[in-house]
Amino acid sequence: MNTKHHLLILSQHDEIYKQLIACEQLPGLLVSAVKEPIKIVHTGEPIDIIFGEPSLISEVLPNMPAVHWVQSTWAGVEPLLVPGMRQDYQLTNARNVYGQAMVEYVFGYLLMIERKILVRWQSQLTEKWDNRPNGTLREKTLGLLGVGSIGSQLANTAHDFGMQVFGYTRQSEDCPAVDRYFHGEELTEFACGLDYLVCCLPGTPATFHLINEGFLSSLPPKAWLLNIGRGSTIDETALIRGLSDYQLAGAVLDVNAVEPLPAGHPLWSTPNTYLTFHSAAQNYPPDIAKIFIENYRRSIEGKPLLYQVDFIRGY
């Protein structure tokens, strides 16, 4: 079969992805792979498909008019949504591959807090016998800001621990493990009474600084905030002020507005704050490659692609 499509893999894991895709012997596909945009070598056949990291793809996409489909290796595609960037192609992202890792991350920290793991370690270091009662997740209320595939898995696990689950979404109510849904103007009502808030939202204009001073003031002082979505959803100045004034019990932040977090940034020393440096759910290439492989087969069969991104909504 003659080659009909030319794929460019643009990723730090370019050779791994190339090998995984080669093993599938996909029909009609010529593959090129590089780590850096500057190393793109044109073979004479125009590249019409790109698979890779949005931050790298955004550097070359404006100059590649033949591209009609981009498969992101990330869930977030913000670099491809900046004003002026092309939107005359089909964009798909990576979904349903991060849930297990996110569940482990979130409940690892929730258990650390309730079971006083670090507190007891600090007591050990000072040779202090510390047998104060532990907390428990049972009957605590977990609020999910965003209930997509990751939020749904978190809700299911929360129920296994005997927690009550609240969910704030744009309009969907698809997860039966959520005990109560909130929408629209109910954001303040959603925040009241939470023990833990987990933000799972994408970074879009609609979610920018959704967690602001007003929202934070609606949370009980006992509440912990965990952000596994995008740093842009939180007004970090307001969060730092709330944590410093002990208006909030603490925060676990896997993402920040600026990454890497600059030296000297106040978050480095904000009380009761744990930073985890965008490590909660790192890409596992075999899982990401499966998404591209399935979508390529769908493409050549004329079927709708999985995980299409709406350029207006940003996810």
CB 56 within 8 A of CB 8: no
Q: pLDDT at position 282, please?
A: 87
Strand, helix or coil at 166? strand
Confidence (pLDDT) at 95:
93
CB 80 within 8 A of CB 53: no
Catalogue the E-assigned strands of 129-256. Answer: 141-145, 164-168, 180-182, 196-199, 224-227, 250-253
Q: Considering only CA atoms, which of 259, 284, 248, 275 is closest in space to residue 109?
A: 275
Instruction: Check residue 3 and give its pLDDT.
Output: 64
Residue 79, C-beta contacts closer than 8 angstroms, at least 6 positions apart? 54, 55, 57, 58
Q: In what order do the strands lie in the sheet with 196-199?
A: 180-182, 164-168, 141-145, 196-199, 224-227, 250-253, 273-275
Please choose, from the candidates 295, 246, 307, the residue with its C-alpha nearest in 3D space to the C-alpha of residue 5: 295
Tens digits of pLDDT across the chain (315 residues):
466 999 999 999 999 999 999 999 999 999 999 998 877 766 567 899 999 999 999 999 999 999 999 999 999 999 999 999 999 999 999 999 999 999 999 999 999 999 999 999 999 999 999 999 999 999 999 999 999 999 999 999 999 999 999 999 988 899 999 999 999 999 999 999 999 999 999 999 999 999 999 999 999 999 999 999 999 999 999 999 999 999 999 999 999 999 999 999 999 999 999 999 999 998 899 999 999 999 999 999 999 999 999 999 888
Q: What is the dihedral of CA 283, 239, 198, 210, to 10 degrees?
A: -90
Phi, psi (5° rounding) for residue 161? Answer: -90, 0
User: 260 preceded by cis ω (within 30°)?
Assistant: yes
Strand pairing class (180-182; 196-199)? unpaired
Looking at residue 39, what is its pLDDT?
74
3-class SS of residue 143: strand
- Model pTM score: 0.89
Tokens at 77, concatenated: 């595609």
